[in-house]
Chain A
C-alpha cells in the first residue's frame, strides 16, 4: 500500500517535471534543474467556477495552468468584463515577481483545472540557489515581457 503510494508520487513527479519543459518560462532548463524546481511547486486543483484570486489580493504566488481553462476578468458594477482566457502551459501572476503590487485582475476557473503554484519567495530562493537556472528563467521573462511590449506597440500603431 505504502509502496504503491510512493510509486504514484514518483510517476506524478516525473510527469510534472516533464510538463515543466513545455512551459515557455522553463523550456531552457535542464532535467536536473527542473527536478530542483519541482521541489518548490504546489499542485492545486480548482473546480469549475472557483475563484483562484481576486483583484487587489496580495501577490503571493505565480501560477502555471496545467489542465483546464481559466478566465481573467475585472469586476465592474456586478458585471464581469472578460480580459483574457488562459490555456494549459500559460502562466499568470508574474507581475508580482518584479513589483510589490497587488493582483491587477481576478482569475476564475472555467472548467475543472489543475494549477501549479510557486511562491514568489521560493522563486527568489530558487534563483539564488541555482543561479545558472535562474538566469535562464529571468532571461525568458525578459524575452516574454519585451515581446508583449512589441505586440502592444503594434496594436497601438495600427
Chain B
C-alpha cells in the first residue's frame, strides 16, 4: 500500500515536472536563443572569473574588467573588421539571391558549371543515392536559407534585434557569471534530503561527461574556423572571414560537415571573379585542414570525451538532417550524446542510491 502510494506520487511528480518543463519552454521560446547564447558565452568566460576570484578579486569587478576588455576588442575589431564583414555578408547574400532569382529549377548546368555537374553525375553513377545536385538545391532552397539567416545572430536583419541582442545577452551573461554558485546552491538546497546526494552526484557526473565534450567541441570549432580563415586568406579568396566561420560552424557535423561547410566557398569562387581553378586549391586546403582536424584535433580534444560508436554518430547525423535540416545535423550529435549521458548516469545513480 505504502509502496503504491509513493509510486503514484512519483508518477504525478514526473508528469508535473515534464509539464512544467514544456510550459517553461513554450513561455520562454522567444528568448530561448538569447539564453542559449548567453550560457555558451558564460560557460567560456567562467574559468576566467573563477581564476580571478582566487586572487580575492570580486566577481563583479572581474566581470566588468572582462567586459571592458571585450568591449575595447570589439570596438577595435569593428573599426577594422565589421565593414569588411558586412560587405562580405552582403556579397554572399547577393550571390545566393542571384541563384534564387532564377525561376526555373536550379541545376548546376544553368549556372554554367557543366564540368562540375558532369563530375557530380559521374559521382552519382558510381554512388547511387548520393543525389548531390538535389542536396545542393535543397541547401539553396530559399526557406531554409531564410531560416538559417534568422537563426544566426550575425545575420540579424533589423537594427532592433541587434540592439536587443547586444543589450540583453551581456546582462544575462553578467548574472550567470556573478551568481553562478548562488544559482546552483539555490537549486540543490531545494531538493529533499533523500534525493539531495543523488541529484548532486548526477549533476556532477553529467557536467563531467558532457561539459568536457562540449568545451572540446567548441574549441575544435574555433580552431578549424581559424585554420580555414588563414587558408582562405593565404589563397586570397574574397569573403575569407565569413566563409571560414561557416566552415568552422559546419565542422561539428560529423562526416558531412566539411562538405556542407565548403559549399558556400565553392559557390563564391565559381560565381565570383575568382578563377574557377581555385576550387581545386581550396579543395586541397580544406583537405589539409580536415586532416589536421581528423588526425590531431578531434582525437585529442573531442574523441576522448565522446563515448559514442562511430556508426551511431553517422546514423544520428543523418536522422538529424532528415528531421531538422542542417541545424538538425549540427545539433543532433551533441543533443543525443547529452541524452545518452543523462540516461546512463541517472540509471546508474538511481540504482546506487537504491531509489529504484
Interface positions of A (Cβ within 8 A of B):
32, 39-40, 42-46, 50, 52-54, 56-58, 60-61, 102, 117, 119, 121, 129-130
- Tell me if B188 and A42 are in contact (CB < 8 A): yes
Q: Measured between alpha carbons, how far is A54 from B197 in the docked complex, in Å?
A: 12
- Tell me if A129 and B185 are in contact (CB < 8 A): no
Residue of B nearest to A46 (CB): B193
**Interface majority SS on B: helix, strand, loop or mixed?**
helix
Q: Measured between alpha carbons, how far is A60 from B197 in the docked complex, in Å?
A: 6
**Interface majority SS on A: helix, strand, loop or mixed?**
mixed
How distant is B210 from chain A, measured CB to nearest CB, in Å? 15
- Tell me if A119 and B200 are in contact (CB < 8 A): yes
What is the number of residues of chain B that contact chain A, defined by CB distance less than 8 Å? 18
Could you say which residues of chain B place their CB within 8 Å of the CB of A130? 54
User: Which of A32, A52, A61 has a CB less than 8 Å from the CB of B200?
Assistant: A61
Q: Measured between alpha carbons, how far is A119 from B201 in the docked complex, in Å?
A: 9
Q: Measured between alpha carbons, how far is A44 from B197 in the docked complex, in Å?
A: 11
Could you say which residues of chain A place their CB within 8 Å of the CB of B353? 57-58
User: Would you call B341 an interface residue if the criterion is a C-beta within 8 Å of the partner chain's C-beta atoms?
Assistant: no
User: Would you call B115 an interface residue if the criterion is a C-beta within 8 Å of the partner chain's C-beta atoms?
Assistant: no
Q: Measured between alpha carbons, how far is A133 from B79 in the docked complex, in Å?
A: 46
User: Would you call B53 an interface residue if the criterion is a C-beta within 8 Å of the partner chain's C-beta atoms?
Assistant: yes
- Tell me if A121 and B204 are in contact (CB < 8 A): yes
Could you say which residues of chain B place their CB within 8 Å of the CB of A58? 197, 201, 349, 352-353
- Tell me if B193 and A50 are in contact (CB < 8 A): yes
- Tell me if B189 and A57 are in contact (CB < 8 A): no
Could you say which residues of chain B place their CB within 8 Å of the CB of A60? 197, 200-201, 204
User: Which of B56, B185, B193, B349 has a CB less than 8 Å from the CB of A32?
Assistant: B56
How distant is B246 from chain A, measured CB to nearest CB, in Å? 37
7 A–B pairs (Cβ distance < 8 Å), ordered by A = A32-B56, A42-B196, A58-B201, A58-B349, A60-B200, A60-B201, A61-B197
